[in-house]
Amino acid sequence: MLEGDDRELYDFREEETEEGFFRMEEGLREEIVRQISAEKHDPEWMLEFRLNSLKLYNQISVPDWGPPVDGLDIDHIATYVRPRTEMAANWDDVPEDIKNAFEKLGIPKAERESLAGVGAQYDSELVYHNVREDVAATGVVYTDMESALTGEYEQMVKDHFMKLVPPTEHKFAALHGAVWSGGSFVYVPKGVKVEIPLQSYFRLNAKGAGQFEHTLIIVDEGADLHFIEGCSAPKYNIANLHAGCVELYVRKNARLRYSTIENWSKNMYNLNTKRAVVEEGGVVEWISGSFGSHESYLYPTSVLKGDGSHAEFTGVTFAGAGQNLDTGAKMIHIGRNTTSFIDSKSICKGGGISTYRSDVQIRKTALGAKASVNCGSLMLDSDSRSDTVPGVNVQTSQADVGHEAKIGRISDEAVFYLMSRGISESEARAMIVSGFASPVSKELPLEYAAEMNNLIKMEMEGG
């Protein structure tokens, strides 16, 4: 989707536009939550949900088992920053400065060439949302969360919103419940197969701010969807926060592929929560590339509720200087004959810290369950650190569970071989790393695989 290897492709800022934005007071108090709710025109039940989430946030402790988040001070985070513009369905109606930002990121080009629909969020609000007429004609609903909440899909939102990820889950889930804003709502009717992907792109431009989008996707019985999520932000010298939430409902015999390329700036605390529930015969596939943020907690979870349901997670994480990325996946087997597969790759260089953390649970009811975990780590220097923290809990003897972990370095012989073919040392190392990450890139549409390889090249060159 992007060409070139200059980090400025992602780190550009639209600072000159700050006067055209509404920025809420920093911190987190009841008055701020009420003001956000008023800005969103929430129904009464959502305001109560937000206020209850705020109470939980103030009661729940910060996690003490992962990367420290001492540098994150919510009293200095603006939880809501809104462009002074309405959401547009026509790209020409988006304000010029915001449109230029997304043009640089290649979003309109991607929409024209390979997407069935696009949502583009800038700071706390969607500025553009559109779906192709032929896709909408099949009954597919793809809109922003606020329109779904305050329109004809309010009951569907109420029945599903933060039911998979309740605010009691952890402190930052409670934070999300209190101040969420933006995100996408998708409903695919029974039997409908969306042949080309939908995409949402999230751009956090404001400094010292947070982004808290909520994505809710329901793929009904026998339906099929590929959804792509992209994220980026420019770098500032103060902390930014991302605490989004993704909830995926995969009905009987349905299939959902959820692909993410995360390229947050390295002052970002990425505390995102993603979870899917899969019914009988359903399939969920997570494809994840994580290349940004100062610190991350990210473990997409699949709840295999129905008999014969299946989940896969394929992910790659790149931790460079100043990064501490704690990532992995979680599989919960409940139904009979459920299957799951985790294939995780982590790369670290320049003193970066990469931790793979997983949790595979085989419940008593999951007779005939099969689960396999394969995680590999590639360390590019002696200053970096890579850890593997797998968890396996098997509650029935009628299950088959396997786990494999490997750690290694780039082979000098492989580098020498490539250099003997006229390739420079830096290019040779980047090629080897790209090959190591190929399980993810080969599962992405071509333009997104190219973007991921471009990010790897920039990281290898210290961009």
pLDDT digits (tens, 9 = 90+) for 277-330: 999 999 999 999 888 889 999 999 999 999 999 999 999 898 988 999 999 999
Domain ranges in the chain are: 21-412
Average pLDDT over residues 389-404: 94
Residues 6 or more apart whose Cβ sits within 8 Å of residue 388 = 355, 356, 375, 377, 405, 407
H or E element in which residue 148 lies: helix 145-150
| pLDDT for res 2 | 37
Contact 208, 178 (CB under 8 A): no
83 DSSP β-pair partners: 21
Render 271-323 in DSSP notation, one character per residue: E-EEEEEE-TT-EEEEEEEE---SEEEE--EEEE-STT-EEEEEEEEEE-TT-
Of 98-112, 169-183, 198-212, 270-284, least confident by mean pLDDT is: 98-112
Residue 8 has pLDDT above 60, yes or no: no
Structure tokens at 37: 């709710």
Of 77-81, 178-182, 249-253, 457-461, least confident by mean pLDDT is: 457-461
Residue 252 has pLDDT above 60, yes or no: yes
Average pLDDT over residues 424-449: 77
Position 396 confidence tier, pLDDT thresholds 50, 70, 90: very high
Position 112 confidence tier, pLDDT thresholds 50, 70, 90: low
Residue 29 has pLDDT above 80, yes or no: yes
CA gap 419, 84 in Å, rounded: 53
Contact 68, 175 (CB under 8 A): no
| pLDDT for res 263 | 80
CA gap 313, 298 in Å, rounded: 12
Structure confidence by residue, pLDDT tens digits, 213-248: 999 999 999 999 999 988 877 777 788 999 999 999
Of 155-169, 241-255, 398-412, least confident by mean pLDDT is: 398-412
* 154 burial level (CB within 10 Å; 0-12, 13-18, 19+): middle
| pLDDT for res 74 | 94
Average pLDDT over residues 339-345: 95
| pLDDT for res 7 | 45
| pLDDT for res 167 | 98
Average pLDDT over residues 408-433: 83
H or E element in which residue 375 lies: strand 369-379
Average pLDDT over residues 333-356: 94
Position 18 confidence tier, pLDDT thresholds 50, 70, 90: low
Single pTM value for the model: 0.90
List own/partner pairs for 135-138 with CB under 8 A and 24 or more apart: 135/194, 138/189, 138/192, 138/194
Residues 6 or more apart whose Cβ sits within 8 Å of residue 421 = none
Residue 253 has pLDDT above 90, yes or no: yes
Between 89 and 205, whose confidence is greater? 205
The three-class DSSP label of residue 333 is strand
CA gap 240, 220 in Å, rounded: 36
Between 132 and 372, whose confidence is greater? 372
Average pLDDT over residues 179-208: 91
Structure tokens at 418: 């490539």
Residue 369 has pLDDT above 50, yes or no: yes
Residue 407 has pLDDT above 90, yes or no: no
Which of 82-96, 107-121, 301-315, 436-450 has the highest mean predicted lDDT (pLDDT)?
301-315
Between 175 and 116, whose confidence is greater? 175
Sheet of strand 283-290, all strands in order from the earlier edge strand to the far edge:
125-131, 117-122, 198-203, 224-232, 255-263, 283-290, 310-319, 339-348, 369-379, 399-409
Site of tokens 């009905």: 251
Determine the straight-line distance between the first and last CA of the chain, rounded to whole angstroms.
Answer: 18
Residue 20: DSSP 8-state:
G
Contact 74, 54 (CB under 8 A): no
**C-alpha gyration radius of the chain:** 21
